[in-house]
Amino acid sequence: MANKNEILIVDDVSENIKIAISILKDEDYNFSYALNGESAVEILKTKRFDLILLDIMMPGIDGFKLARMIKATPAIKDTPIIFVTAKIDINSIEEGFKIGAVDYVTKPYHPVELRVRVKNHLELYNLRKKLAQDNKLLQKNREIEKIQYLTAVESAQKELIYVLSEIMKHDSGETAAHVQRVAEISKKLAILDGSLSDKEVQILYLAAPLHDVGNVLIKNNILHKNGPLDDEELLQIKEHPTLALTILEKSTQEVLKAAAIIAHEHHENWDGSGYPQGLKGNDIHIYGRIVAIADVLDVLTHQRSYKEAWNFEKAISYMMEESGKKFDPRLMEIFVNHLEVFKEIIDEY
């Protein structure tokens, strides 16, 4: 069963209210009434209506003033107002429409006219409400579709990153545990830093595993060489950030664009002595500065073909010496103040 429409009748003459109700009662409406503008204001604070029949001439708060108050109140400003006037006064009618009334009727009431005008405006109001609800539902559905689409895109990006990480694991000497630890350390450092949004932290987390993707284009005999590299081999190794950029730079996806930045810049040094561009300080993207710390910590604390693993304390001592030279000193301060967090990641994975 449909809800009955709620009508508020405001008139300082009680007999006029009774007449209006008697004319409209067969239409199955619910009625409330007020004998002055002040009482109507109090009623409107706690109850919502589908239409207001409002007498113009009242002592105190008259119809015009009350209508202005209604139109200035966001919660009820769309409620249709039909002004009631004792005579056809063109100026009053014009003023009422300027304020926002939808119609007017004259007293004494003509039953057919009153019923038809009230019914028409209630139907219009109900249609507008339904349209607004349908628009909200449509907007909600669009938001859901957008979320589903973005989720699917993110899923595809994650899958692509997983595939590339697997290629790195088999062809470049990187282990799955290494790329995972670098991602976890990077994410935790970014959160502690607090300068990135939640979305940016998540992008960093997804992109960090590709920091050394350029190594897939380096010869395996160089990557897996036991012992130190000669000058020529070292130059080839230093090509991997630029090679990574050629792999990733054409992507339009946020995560892969971030991966391109990280892969290209995580070997840049704070003091400008890094490679491949010799960037310095804040010219190095914060993604690159964060991953640089994460990568070095993990490399130092784990065995490689060319080196033994260092203990955590030795690694931290070296990294602290490199603060302001290799690493962003502000990020290093945060890093050093939360060493237990990063040691837990190193030990867990």
Helix (H) or strand (E) holding 53: strand 51-55
| Domain covering 172-348: architecture | Orthogonal Bundle (1.10)
Residue 294 has a pLDDT of 98
Dist. CA 267–CA 185, nearest whole Å: 17
DSSP secondary structure letter of residue 33 = E
Residue 3 has a pLDDT of 79
Q: Over the stretch 98-132, which tens digit does the pLDDT of each residue have?
A: 999 999 999 999 999 999 999 999 999 999 888 88
Beta carbons of 109 and 20 less than 8 angstroms apart: yes
Dist. CA 327–CA 320, nearest whole Å: 9
Which CB contacts under 8 angstroms, 24+ apart, belong to 174-181? 174/212, 174/215, 177/349, 178/298, 178/299, 178/302, 179/208, 179/209, 179/210, 179/211, 180/209, 180/349, 181/294, 181/298, 181/345, 181/346, 181/349
User: What are 113's two structure tokens?
Assistant: 């006219």
User: What are 66's two structure tokens?
Assistant: 């009350």
Residue 322 has a pLDDT of 98
Among positive and negative, which fits the CA dihedral 276, 278, 281, 284?
negative
Residue 174 has a pLDDT of 54
Residue 1 has a pLDDT of 47
Parse the chain into domains and list their residue ranges.
6-140, 172-348
User: What are 35's two structure tokens?
Assistant: 């004998």
Q: Which residues of the chain have pLDDT under 50?
A: 1
Residue 266 has a pLDDT of 97
Helix (H) or strand (E) holding 159: helix 111-171
Residue 228 has a pLDDT of 83
Q: Which CATH class is domain 6-140?
A: alpha beta
Domains 6-140 and 172-348 share a fold: no
Enumerate residues 6+ apart whose C-beta is below 8 A from 174: 165, 168, 212, 215
Dist. CA 306–CA 303, nearest whole Å: 8
Residue 178 has a pLDDT of 87
Residue 170 has a pLDDT of 58
Q: Which residue has the tokens 């007999």?
A: 15
Residue 158 has a pLDDT of 65
